[in-house]
Structure 1
Amino acid sequence: MRANGLPPVERIELGAGLTGRVVATVDLLVQEGLAASNGEAAWTSPEWWRFVEADPDHESLYLVIDGADSRPVAAAPALIVRDTRGLLFYNGPRIIGDLSAIGSVSHLAPDEQAALPWLTAGVEAARPALYPSLTVGTFGSNLGLRPFAPGRMTLPVSTVVPALARLAEVVAELVGCRSHALLYLDPEEDAALASDAVVAGLCRSVFGGEGVLDVPDGDFDDYLSMLPSSRRRTIRREIRAYAEFGARTEVDYGPGALTDDHVRLRSALREKYGHTAGQTWARKEFDTLRETVGERLVVFSARGTEQILGYLMAFRFGDVLYTRAAGFDYEASSGAYCYFNVVYYDVIKWAQRNGVRRIHYGLGTTAAKVWRGCTLRPRWAYFGLGPGATPDTSEMIAIQNATASRLLASLGAELEYGSMAGAEAG
């Protein structure tokens, strides 16, 4: 939903001839000329922003950067989060200290393990003072920064990203937020901001790695040929088990692809991560998806002899598929390897048949993604902690960064990219 009671925000000087401001809705952005561009990501599309804007759990607004001629050149979505009830992965203060969001418990060094109890207690005590909080970022684990429209002046990432960080800091204060965060920066965006982090007073941490699969031409055997022989044997065994179980994958498209069969699994997934909104919430979410990105929907459903066993929801933008959410009845499908068949193997087969060249699998379950051929693209987080923070808070972020870095390095991800200042936004 749109943010409540936004005060008027005058143009904010950002340096380099740029100014910034706040816009309340996607519709107002479109009136100013916000337009889709060829090859843009699902998470920066106007359709997706309309979906996020309709979500009742957060208050949304948009940060706009204007050029020297006062015309908009870039925009990014933001959320005002009032307390810990907001979704974990877009709730800056709640992320801090949660190693399931950033970090890896299994990669703690002994001294970090020893410090964890008292640091956790300190962060929990300080957390209430960090709300309300402003998050720059959007559902889909993406910063969301994009050029305003095709044909508008493009600016280097090295200029736009620091300007966005300055804008976020000022807007957070103007709307009464005690902290702010910029989440899910990609390597180019991170390289642009990293040199400014100390000056801006931000704490920096690697967030995780987005799994991206470049789909090979040909058939499924061409995909398997990319993998070591031991993995090929395991995958063939999992495919056989799925078929012998009597399961099959069906693919549906468009607004009608999400049905009541999927509601139960979607609400169960939310409960797994601590959200007990139930099936009423899931039905409302599906209705909003149909209205906003319905024509982009591709839903892969595992069906048994009597019921749906699981599903993967995704969106197609051109020749790229973006996965959004999956849900499974693990008890009913025990031994069938439904998850791996529906999320990976049958999606890859479908992609090869339908001209999709890349699949974005998002963050989390990184080892499983790498094992099945995905490349990991690191994502970074920056936290502006404000006066309510304590030293425990920044120390905890440092531990989260260290353990997340070790996890990604163990999976072969490259975390240092050097200067990318010549790259252009978008």
Structure 2
Amino acid sequence: MFATLSNDAPELLGESDRRELIRAERALADAGQSGRFVVARDAGAGPVGVLPVYPVARPYSAAPHPRLVLDGSTATQGWRTGCYLGSLGRAPAMVAVRPGTEPGPVRAALLKAGWDLVTERSHQLDFACFPLLDDELLAAVSPLVAADDPVLVESLEAFIPVTFDSFAGYLAAQSRSRREMIRKEQRRFRSAGLRIIEVELSARHQELAPLLRNVEQKYHVAGTVDQYANYLAGIADSLGDQTTCLAVFGDDDPDAKEPVAFTVIWRQDGVWRLRCWGCDYERTAGAFAYFNLIAYEPLRLAIGAGAQRLVLGRGSLEAKLGRGAELLRLTSVAVPLGAAGTE
């Protein structure tokens, strides 16, 4: 088995992974960049695994700033250009292995080849980062970077197991105090004159982009509205019918022309994952729009579709736990490289 560098991912990926790689490539192309793929090959079987390697740089329109991936770590100060291995930082890292292949040796070969690629170019980069690794991938990455003073940041990702046959069943599974809280939040949302409807992301990405920028600005790393519009358009184009976009409109907007909040959900087989959300904070103040939009309505739809898990993402963990979520541990590993601190 050996690893090679390619501009194209091999045809060993499942449909969901393939679409995500296409989305990432288009997002990078909009920023004038392109990713590469480390491909593991078997002499008798051809490609057996792939690891994406993505260049990232300011203004971070295609990918989140490493400060966000590393949950605000001050170690990222001065990091301008680098690369992400495994994902673009918004979803857990992917090291794809062909079904029927022993995964351990393939993943180890891919990760080592990816790290070798990075170290060969370390004088040109401020950092390299393996975003959001599960425990198995973390165990494989740790020996590669142990001598390089890595920054390790543990994150917890919230998800709701979809084990209910109805939203009423979800409510019944909560404690009495939680049920009362959820019902109160739903009533407050409705009494604020707000409603949620599904919209076509491909048709609405331009008007949703400012709402996404509002949320990103809270972390002081926001790009331009056009960059966020391109990001949303890329999701719509590449993930296509695997996405659901829910938007909030006021009852005083019967034609649904001016969204005040939205979320995008990626339906990946039996797992539904929130990709992003945006909001007009002033218009939705006090209406509990966040959990109505990112939890209650998506959960109702996920139950109806027979999904197995609704992934709510990182952040606001205590509040998500209070609404029936569980936690999955993920760890991001970053290493400062030769260009860090230079001009």
TM-score (norm 1): 0.68
Aligned partners of 1:131 and 1:177 also within 8 Å:
no
- 2:5: which partner in 1? 22
Residue 389 (structure 1) shift? 7.3
Structure 1 CA distance for aligned equivalents of residues 318 and 17 of structure 2: 24
Aligned partners of 1:89 and 1:101 also within 8 Å:
no
- 1:348: which partner in 2? 299
- 1:300: which partner in 2? 246
Residue 136 (structure 1) shift? 0.4
Residue 59 (structure 1) shift? 4.0
Q: Which amino acid aligns with 1:377?
A: L
Aligned to 2:272, which of 303, 321, 325?
321
**What's the RMSD between the two structures over aligned residues?**
3.1
TM-score (norm 2): 0.83
Residue 133 (structure 1) shift? 2.5
Q: Secondary structure at the match of 1:144?
A: coil
- 1:238: which partner in 2? 185
Residue 331 (structure 1) shift? 0.9
Flag the 1:174–1:322 CA change in 2: closer, same or farther, 3 A.
same
Flag the 1:55–1:382 CA change in 2: closer, same or farther, 3 A.
same
Structure 1 CA distance for aligned equivalents of residues 62 and 218 of structure 2: 13
Structure 2 CA distance for aligned equivalents of residues 378 and 58 of structure 1: 31
Aligned to 1:184, which of 132, 135, 157?
132
User: What's the CA shift string for 1:79-107, capped at 9, x where partnerless?
Assistant: 2234x543697555x569x7x435xxxxx
Q: Secondary structure at the match of 1:283?
A: helix
Aligned to 2:14, which of 16, 23, 36?
36
Aligned to 2:39, which of 64, 68, 71?
64
User: What's the CA shift string for 1:360-381, capped at 9, x where partnerless?
Assistant: 2222222222222222111112
Flag the 1:260–1:168 CA change in 2: closer, same or farther, 3 A.
closer
Aligned to 1:74, which of 35, 40, 49?
49
Aligned partners of 1:252 and 1:299 also within 8 Å:
yes
Flag the 1:351–1:207 CA change in 2: closer, same or farther, 3 A.
same
Aligned partners of 1:63 and 1:75 also within 8 Å:
yes
Aligned partners of 2:60 and 2:223 also within 8 Å:
no
Aligned partners of 2:159 and 2:312 also within 8 Å:
yes
Residue 259 (structure 1) shift? 4.6
Aligned to 1:141, which of 78, 85, 91?
91
Aligned to 1:266, which of 191, 212, 216?
212
Aligned partners of 1:220 and 1:348 also within 8 Å:
yes
Structure 1 CA distance for aligned equivalents of residues 52 and 72 of structure 2: 21
Q: Which amino acid aligns with 2:85?
A: V
Question: Which structure 2 segments of 5+ residues have no match?
Answer: none
Aligned partners of 2:264 and 2:276 also within 8 Å:
yes
Flag the 1:247–1:187 CA change in 2: closer, same or farther, 3 A.
same
| The structure with more radius of gyration | 1
Residue 78 (structure 1) shift? 1.5
Greater percentage in strand: 2
User: What's the CA shift string for 1:371-407, capped at 9, x where partnerless?
Assistant: 22222111112234446779xxxxxxxxxxxxxxxxx
- 1:407: which partner in 2? none
- 1:164: which partner in 2? 110
Structure 1 CA distance for aligned equivalents of residues 45 and 117 of structure 2: 18
Q: Which amino acid aligns with 2:60?
A: G
Q: Percent of pairs identical after alignment?
A: 21
Structure 2 CA distance for aligned equivalents of residues 88 and 378 of structure 1: 25
Are 1:227 and 2:178 counterparts? Answer: no
Q: Secondary structure at the match of 1:332?
A: helix
Aligned partners of 2:38 and 2:51 also within 8 Å:
yes
Q: Which amino acid aligns with 1:72?
A: P
Q: Secondary structure at the match of 1:311?
A: strand
Structure 1 CA distance for aligned equivalents of residues 138 and 288 of structure 2: 37
Aligned partners of 1:253 and 1:295 also within 8 Å:
no
- 1:173: which partner in 2? 119
- 1:402: which partner in 2? none
Structure 2 CA distance for aligned equivalents of residues 263 and 383 of structure 1: 29
